[in-house]
Structure 1
């Protein structure tokens, strides 16, 4: 990881970042269940998933995939930007234990901040796909970014 100072004026709509793959493991799911208290059988009980729910197997928590995907895009530290939140989060398809996911992040909007003239906002559409190329999650990650030369 490296520190990269990047200001609002340096972002452009259409920029795309892509990650390498990451396989979702049983350890990921068990740890996430322990952290969140979500021990629903969809995530923890293979027999129930197959025999009762008709699933192909256990599925990862949507919030786990969200967390992992956002982390996969966080390769550099930019002290000029801060996460402002997430919009339009959609869990489109389940991610099963053993699936490998990749993430694409595309800048879709660069604007001034509506109330703070020294800041801007960068919106990045994040699309997570599985190893079959199916989209499993999408969201918009919002960033607040300093403008060059207009620090508070």
Structure 2
């Protein structure tokens, strides 16, 4: 029996598959992204420093004791980056370009120690009018805490090749 999620490239040799070609996407298809990711205080501090987001809500525990949450909030940039990153491997792993983000909504606060999961639903797809052999896919990604609370949603469009225009053999994928 051949393993799923891999391409046979030789005897007893397989290569992991990443992403989908345009034809493999179907409107309404939902992909659950794994593994999940537990957010750490270090994630929050590093991203706050990298992005120059020095809001005390994200870096000053003494300040945060006087907020409604009474603890440091994870920056929304951290949440967006982790959830967005979780979705890339399967949704746009074969992608040629990220075309845009829309309707980013932060619905529940995230704190260090929360574990996040993600899922993406394909909302639309169409062949590119200007780039033959490529198609545009739009998905809605949802970030969910291990408790089931939705923390983030966003729509994203990206460009992927058709199977006839794939680069697997040329790139070693």
Structure 2 length normalisation: TM-score? 0.76
Higher relative contact order (CA 8 A, sep 6+): 1
In the TM superposition, what is the alpha-carbon distance from 1:37 to its structure 2 partner?
A: 1.1
Structure 1 length normalisation: TM-score? 0.85
Does the 8 Å CA contact 1:3/1:78 hold for their aligned counterparts? no
Report what 2:162 is aligned to.
147
Pair 1:145–1:84, CA change in 2 (3 A): same
Pair 1:9–1:95, CA change in 2 (3 A): same
Report what 1:85 is aligned to.
100
Q: Deviations over 1:16-64 (max 9, x none)?
A: 221232111011011101111112110011221122x222411111111
Residue 42 in structure 1 maps to residue 57 in structure 2: yes
Pair 1:6–1:101, CA change in 2 (3 A): closer
Report what 1:8 is aligned to.
22
- Structure whose alpha-carbon radius of gyration is higher: 2
In the TM superposition, what is the alpha-carbon distance from 1:75 to its structure 2 partner?
A: 3.2
Residue 94 in structure 1 maps to residue 140 in structure 2: no
Correspondence 1:47-126 to 2 at 5 A: 47-51=62-66, 53-75=67-89, 78-79=93-94, 81-126=96-141
In the TM superposition, what is the alpha-carbon distance from 1:138 to its structure 2 partner?
A: 0.3
Aligned residues, how many? 150
Question: Which structure 2 segments of 5+ residues have no match?
Answer: 1-14, 167-173
Over 4 Å off, 4+ runs: none
CA RMSD of aligned residues (A): 2.3
